[in-house]
Amino acid sequence: MATLKVKVKWGKESYDVDLDLNEAPEVFKAQLFALTGVTPDRQKVMCKGAILKETWDSMRVKDGATILMMGSKGEIPQAPAEKPTFLEDMDASQLATALKLPCGLYNLGNTCYLNAVVQCLRTVPELVKYLATYQTRSNDPQITPLSNKQQITCSLRDLFWNMEEHAVIQPLFLVDFWRRTFPQFAEKGENGVTMQQDANEAWTELVRVLDSVLWQNLPKVGVDPSVTVDETACRKREGFMKMLFGGELEVTMKCSESESECETRTTEEFFQLSCFISTEVRYLLAGLKLRMQENITKMSPTLGRDAVYQKTSKLSRLPGYLTVSIVRFFYKEKEAVNAKILKDVKFPMMLDVFELCSQDLQQSLIPQRDKFKVWEDEQVRTIPVEAKKKDVAEARPDIPFAFPNDPGSNNSGFYQLQAILTHKGRSSSSGHYVGWIRRGKEWFKCDDETVTPIHEDDIMKLSGGGDWHVAYVLLYGPRLLGVS
């Protein structure tokens, strides 16, 4: 019989207790705690001289047996000096502080598109750190007043700094100088309310602003702190943003209608790759390949007329941070609106662009990729793997990811997703934009002033296929060797 009737004696007290031998002794001790107030760690339970340990085997108990318990109650817990505040009773600021959430940004009238861009770019620690060093001499009356683009840069610098200190903040100065500099983003509707704007256009313009302003503030050492380079090497990229976000394409043009016309090779720079969507494209990499191989029509000097050319592009320089735009909007003349393609396009947490690279770049990437393979093989042989993992945010400052002679580049072709800008709605000039960011191993949804922690599985649901939030711009950072 598994359930027994026993009598428990504790000092002068005696209790009739049901004892189930199929349950662990901890359960029985919990019953005694409920009866006597003696915590399990203070209890000493005995029967006929045998002491109860981790199993019932150490003590033979029969039905009707008398069990002796020794132990005293601890101090009675005192009520807290301050009344506890429950999560459901906290305001946004208290909640953000309690959960250590990233700072939220108030919507100042259809500014969700700009808020989402700011949240995504703020995930780049090198940009945040470098912006903090940007200085102007605006207090000197002999100096020409700051341009609007310099004001935007200063506003973003100050906003990043204030976001470290607050739970929610109003990006007043950034929005003000942004609309002054770009009147198209200050357009108002019939009701006098500032209209919604395309977030990817804002992303592109903001990167261009930073590129034009920060090019004079080139660092004398590489973005990767473990690699020391001189100022000449930095100036090769002609700017901080080009070092960190700028890539290059090796472009080949071949006329399909003239065998005698020589093939031409040129180099194109980019801050963003485009993923085109077609009926065949179901995955991000397939959409990128579609952009790398296309036919265009242009004037042929050999034929003296327009002809079809095959344009082939290969990545010849990988930026440390790769921005990918999923081309979801197209212009409908009849409705005069940028309509949205809702198709589901899967994107990976870990992106490998090796097959999109030129042969020369592939050869340069192989040594670092071999190091990744050795490390991954070691993780398979090592158990438990969890004990070896490092936090990305903690590990990044110490781990090189760039070529020694090309600061800010990617030396492996491996990337890790760190931010997503999504759109919900049917038109780029309507609906709602949200930023989704990774900090360490955790993901957060930054919906204007509301910031909430989310699971990584929720990120994978942003690939499209419905009217919910759909990935529009993806920001991939360098995958770091030794970090899972």
d(CA 283, CA 49): 70
**Is there a domain that residue 85 lies in?**
no
pLDDT of residue 218: 52
Quote the tokens at residue 164: 């470290």
74 half-sphere exposure, CB direction, 13 A CA radius: 9
Same domain, 376 and 443: yes
| Domain identity same for 375 and 332 | yes
- Co-location of 61 and 196 in the same domain: no
Do 114 and 193 belong together in one domain? yes
pLDDT for the residue numbered 78: 63
Q: Is 467 domain-assigned?
A: yes
Q: Quick check: 313 and 291 in contact, CB under 8 A?
A: yes
Other beta carbons within 10 angstroms of residue 396's beta carbon come to 19
Is 172 found in the same domain as 23? no
Which 3 state secondary structure label does DSSP give 231?
helix
Q: Is residue 364 part of a domain?
A: no
| Cα 167 to Cα 93: distance, rounded to the nearest angstrom | 5
284 and 301 in one domain? yes
208 and 105 in a common domain: yes
- What is the CATH classification number for the domain harbouring 53? 3.10.20.90
Last residue in a domain, options 313, 336, 363: 313
What are the per-10-residue average pLDDT scores of the chain (484 residues)?
Answer: 81 86 84 85 84 81 86 67 59 57 94 97 94 70 72 95 92 95 91 90 96 69 42 58 94 92 93 90 91 90 93 96 91 68 92 96 96 87 53 52 92 96 85 94 95 94 88 95 77
Which of 161, 165, 104 has the alpha carbon at shortest distance from 135?
161
pLDDT value, residue 91: 57
> Does 483 reside within a domain?
no
pTM of the model: 0.74
Please identify which of the residues 47, 103, 112, 275 carries the catalytic annotation: 112
Query: What is the spatial distance between Cα 143 and Cα 111, in angstroms, rounded to a whole number?
Result: 32
349 and 436 share one domain? yes
Residue 112 among the catalytic residues: yes
Domain membership flag for residue 366:
no
Rounded CA-CA distance 458/215 in Å is 38
Residue 469: active-site member = no
**Dihedral over Cα of 265, 270, 272, 276: its sign:** negative
Per-residue pLDDT at 93: 55
How many domains does the chain fold into? 3
Q: Structural domain of residue 30, as residue ranges? A: 3-70
153 within some domain: yes
Q: State whether 59 and 128 are in the same domain.
A: no
Q: Let me know whether 108 and 203 are in one domain.
A: yes
The CATH code of the domain that includes 111 is 3.90.70.10
Residue 317 burial (CB count, 10 A): 22
Q: For residue 81, is it within any domain? A: no
271: its two tokens: 């801050």
Structure tokens, 474: 């993806």
Residue 76 lies in a domain: no
Q: Compute CA distances 263 → 47, 82, 296, 297, 372, whole Å.
A: 94, 77, 14, 15, 37
215 and 348 inside one domain: yes
Same domain, 306 and 326: no
